[in-house]
Amino acid sequence: MANAQAPSNVGPGYWSVAVGRALIAVIPAVIITFNRDHSAQFGLIVFGAFALASGILLVVTGRRALTVSADRSLFLIHGIVSMVAGGLALGFHAGGHGFFLFVVSVWGAVTGFLEIYAGIRLRRRPAPAKDWLFTGIGTAVLALLLLLLPPNPVVSVGLFGAYLVFLAVFLPIAGLSLKWDAPRQRRSTSLNATPANTARVNTARVNTAPNDSDSL
């Protein structure tokens, strides 16, 4: 999760993107947890709504929250892929369990890779690179488990629900950590910059001071 070193590759409002993604995950997580119907059709509808809403959020907010063009491009692709996957799931919600596995696993593999790659690119900056790595790995693991576990709709939809619970718990902590650590990091940066500025001023004064030999 994010630590006290605020990154320069995200804007001050990026924390709200992480929290927004978590809020989008909460509702379907609760629906799956407390609903006995774990059919493929139910899973496609829930996944479709989640992926579509998440994609719209990333497309709309990514340009403002991310300050590096490469990161904006990665999360723009992330958002578009999520919107396409969500639209397919909703449009073909009667496609059966095989279609559920196909759509969710492909979505998880692509978006998981994008977040892992974004995190690796910024591995020298602890936040939010570690957050992107955690969520990316979690999404990729979801895709892998859907392919490896027995093809049972109850297991598959339940596994997707567990993934949503992971997002609903992890992302708010990551987002709020960024929000609370940013002011502290700005204060630390200003304090570290003050001695350097003072040294430059003193050097300038020495350089501009009148030379005693010139006055003779």
Over the chain (216 residues), the average pLDDT of each successive run of 10 is: 46 81 95 92 97 95 82 92 97 96 97 93 70 93 94 93 95 83 48 47 50 47
Residue 212 forms part of a structural domain = no
Residue 74 forms part of a structural domain = yes
Domains in the chain: how many in total?
1
Give the span between the Cα atoms of 188 and 180, in whole angstroms. Answer: 13
Residue 91 forms part of a structural domain = yes
Residue 34 forms part of a structural domain = yes
Residue 188 forms part of a structural domain = yes
The interaxial angle of helices 40-65 and 69-91, nearest 10 deg, is 160
Q: Across-strand partners of 10?
A: 66
Side-chain half-sphere of 214: how many Cα atoms within 13 Å?
A: 4
Quick one: pLDDT at residue 207?
A: 53
Residue 149 forms part of a structural domain = yes
Predicted TM-score of the model (pTM): 0.79
12 and 182 Cβ atoms separated by less than 8 Å = yes
Residue 9 forms part of a structural domain = no
Q: Which residue has the tokens 């994010």?
A: 2
Could you count the other beta carbons within 10 Å of the beta carbon of residue 192?
9
Quick one: pLDDT at residue 70?
A: 85
Residue 81 forms part of a structural domain = yes
Tokens of 152: 């049972």
Provide the residue range defining the domain that includes 143. 14-204
Quick one: pLDDT at residue 201?
A: 46
Give the span between the Cα atoms of 146 and 141, in whole angstroms. Answer: 8
Q: 3-class DSSP state for residue 95?
A: coil
